[in-house]
Chain A
């Protein structure tokens, strides 16, 4: 039945077979490339597909005070997360979840977008959910692919004490910070110490996350029997003990009430800070998790600046509490002797300008001790006229002004050291006058210091030149066996000042508190000797700032303290009583 004969030529048959061969060759080469050359890359992707890494949060270290009272501990809350890739597989998921948690689909969408870190990485959509919702989620587990809840540790703080500027707070880590940190594995959404101790000792307090490796199928359902799941347990952070005495801290906060100001109580011999208050402050519980936006904005926009740590970042004119520095300079460099008297008519004339003493009728004839006890300005105007500015400034520098104290809090400011160099820079060479010197010697004008610098200064005066580094960190727990590592802050001392001078200063400061004309009678404490100096600093923005610095000692205890009450009026009436009360508390409750 052949109609026609097969006419195909060998050439055409062969070329067909060659084409077939080439087609197969291309396929095999491509397969070789995928399976052999790029094998490991694809193994990685396949594992990433099926292995879900669930972070197990590490507990942050607990913060205690020096006596073991808890300052910051951890509590837990449940959060709801979704894995975008699985959750987005059906629009119905949004509906179901929206019904359960009572949040609109739009909001869920928005939160997923805001917390997106990748298709397979859980994104947080709801925090602190109650058990009822958790139960419902568990019931609907199969209808809700990619929805999971996680346990998140939070910070919790004791009632009745804020201590906010010491502790600082935690905030969600920024994307930039994640990229730049190598030591620890931070993830978006993690909290990181942002201010205060939480930031300073982040590395000690922060533990290491653990990870659970779960195998899932394409629907995001856990598949257990296929390969074994793996767990790396989290390592909790180390517990930290502070030098703070929580009772004293609480009392100090109460004494400052709603005033704006600062209190620091310290052990002058070793720099351990017993109490540290900067008012206004805020409740640390606002920051127990991620702070609510409204709360954050309220804190930020408050004109009283509650987020601002006045202790390390506030720069103030110190006023009269600075006068001892000129006295020391004069004695050490023999500018005058302490019996030399200057007449105070209540003012001092320099050219056409008049510089006033705080006491309008004047102090009459004033010697050095009287100048400290009664805080006479005119005496110091006369004194500084006899001194080179840099001679005075060298003493100021000796006590640590113009540089940071090294306290273990972030972002400390160094203030000014108004020597010749500084004034030349600020006003230009020869553009400043003797008038600048007159203002500076009484702690006004270009002199700006931070409260923590003054705490170091008063400690130096009380210990005859021991310049300790104020610090808050006492020790931390190295391991479970209660082995502690102690912080060892730096120590320095001023050796160039003679014992006579120290003695004179101590005697004068004692008289500030006890002499009939002394300005700080309110600081007296029974059973202890109190030494101090008040200050009333002019303030261009309104009422004067009230200062008191001092120390108190008996046979077994020595504490130093400073107090500032912004716009508080007189140091003797606004600041000295607070320190007096705190010294009294120390007498009854503190032993080293």
Chain B
């Protein structure tokens, strides 16, 4: 109670910084565009407003705002001190669906509470950031120490592995990807990040001779200039090289069904209608939109239902089809400004924990945007990640608003010191 009172005084004197106001404005604009898009998408549906997707989305957004407002008043201290508690609770929550979840689609992501479906892995995106931030904010640690690198990675890998098994490639990717900007921000040695990413690149590049050759050249250069112990360098080099050489051999030795199983795992949301149908229809929607778009409610791909998942994963394609390149440019610019503002805020904050949480949460938003848009234009395989503030979906909208609430909360804290 004590904390809350003090904060109220603070808010009344200087409610929000200009940066925060701009942030809120940007988010409102994006939400507005999202609602217009959903309005268009449900234009030809004969249901009452609140039965339509747009009506539900409005309700979720209002709910989200309330949650964000509540979080705005939560003391940072609680977040910091209970970070690991949240982490354990989060772990339990993501394991629960394996036992009690509704797995009608063959995946175990959802928990049902009296008819309301809830996806605990969504919360994990936030919890991981807070837990890793707490570990990295420990002043006794020297940031260049290898421990500072490896512990957060392990903290992240455990839930990532569980979620990957659900299977939910998209969320796992978000978890692991959000940690690296935090490590980078916290001052971890680049070399440590490099040796962690190197094996992944070795495997991916191994399928093509030229890319692998190029990668080996980069590997040699980095190792040469790393000034590490010669034993470690040789060890790392040999490890990556042998990984690269054995991967194609192992892959070819797998049975086709095993290969397919892996491919399916990597491409969980892949469509039943045959090779890349969703992505092709999405590209067609966006491409046929042209510069100015077809106009709201006039997108043929959208309204004739050629575009799949148009309320959720592929909502960006609706924007592209009906609003054209201009609308797409506006949306991406708004996102870009929002991300930049968040990083700017994180940079200015004096407290390391707050700064790291903002960077982590911003990265979560950033990678959602990049992966989703890359997916809709065919740059990445379909992973089923929604677009923040635009896509329809209860759990995800709540997650986004929780992130907003936390970022605003933590960014205001600095004015007290």
A2 to B349 CA separation, bound complex (whole angstroms): 11
**Is the beta-carbon distance between A1 and B77 smaller than 8 angstroms?**
yes
* CB of A352 within 8 Å of the partner chain: no
* CB of A3 within 8 Å of the partner chain: yes
A27 to B325 CA separation, bound complex (whole angstroms): 12
* CB of A215 within 8 Å of the partner chain: yes
**Is the beta-carbon distance between A35 and B325 smaller than 8 angstroms?**
yes
Tell me whether A31 and B351 are in contact in the complex, defined as CB-CB below 8 angstroms, given that A12-B187, A20-B340, A46-B301 are known contacts: no
Residues in B neighbouring A4, C-beta threshold 8 A: 137-139, 351-353
Residues in B neighbouring A5, C-beta threshold 8 A: 139, 350-352
Residues in B neighbouring A50, C-beta threshold 8 A: 300-301, 304, 306
**Is the beta-carbon distance between B347 and A226 smaller than 8 angstroms?**
no
A39 to B289 CA separation, bound complex (whole angstroms): 7
Within B239-292, the residues touching A (CB, 8 Å) are: 273, 281, 283-291
Count contacts on B: residues with CB < 8 A to the other chain: 57
**Is the beta-carbon distance between A27 and B377 smaller than 8 angstroms?**
yes
* CB of A232 within 8 Å of the partner chain: no
Within A7-31, the residues touching B (CB, 8 Å) are: 7-10, 12-13, 16-17, 20-21, 23-24, 26-28, 30-31
Q: Which residue on B lies nearest to A46, using beta carbons?
A: B288
A24 to B352 CA separation, bound complex (whole angstroms): 27
**Is the beta-carbon distance between A35 and B328 smaller than 8 angstroms?**
yes
* CB of A174 within 8 Å of the partner chain: no
A431 to B134 CA separation, bound complex (whole angstroms): 112
* CB of B216 within 8 Å of the partner chain: no
Within A190-238, the residues touching B (CB, 8 Å) are: 215-219, 223, 226-227
Tell me whether A6 and B286 are in contact in the complex, defined as CB-CB below 8 angstroms, given that A30-B379, A34-B377 are known contacts: no
A106 to B52 CA separation, bound complex (whole angstroms): 42
Count contacts on A: residues with CB < 8 A to the other chain: 46
Within B314-342, the residues touching A (CB, 8 Å) are: 320, 324-325, 328-329, 332, 335-336, 339-340
* CB of A432 within 8 Å of the partner chain: no
* CB of A292 within 8 Å of the partner chain: no
Closest CB in chain A relative to B132 CB, distance in Å: 14
* CB of B80 within 8 Å of the partner chain: yes
Residues in A neighbouring B350, C-beta threshold 8 A: 2, 5-6
* CB of A429 within 8 Å of the partner chain: no
Residues in B neighbouring A36, C-beta threshold 8 A: 290-291, 325
* CB of A32 within 8 Å of the partner chain: yes
A249 to B187 CA separation, bound complex (whole angstroms): 103
* CB of B223 within 8 Å of the partner chain: no
Closest CB in chain B relative to A474 CB, distance in Å: 52
* CB of B394 within 8 Å of the partner chain: no
A131 to B156 CA separation, bound complex (whole angstroms): 67
Select which of B186, B304, B351, B366 is within 8 A of A226 by beta carbon. B304
A216 to B355 CA separation, bound complex (whole angstroms): 53
* CB of A498 within 8 Å of the partner chain: no
Closest CB in chain A relative to B3 CB, distance in Å: 10
* CB of B234 within 8 Å of the partner chain: no
Q: Which residue on A lies nearest to B366, using beta carbons?
A: A20
Beta-carbon contacts of A30-64 to B below 8 Å, as 1s and 0s? 11101110110111011101100000000000000
* CB of A89 within 8 Å of the partner chain: yes
Select which of A2, A26, A39 is within 8 A of B379 by beta carbon. A26
Closest CB in chain A relative to B99 CB, distance in Å: 33
A27 to B387 CA separation, bound complex (whole angstroms): 14
Residues in A neighbouring B352, C-beta threshold 8 A: 2-7
> 7 A–B contact pairs at CB < 8 A?
A4-B139, A6-B347, A8-B186, A30-B377, A46-B288, A49-B284, A215-B304
A residues touching B (Cβ–Cβ < 8 Å)?
1-10, 12-13, 16-17, 20-21, 23-24, 26-28, 30-32, 34-36, 38-39, 41-43, 45-47, 49-50, 89, 215-219, 223, 226-227
Nearest 9 A/B pairs, CB to CB: A42-B287, A4-B139, A46-B288, A217-B304, A218-B305, A35-B325, A34-B287, A42-B288, A6-B355
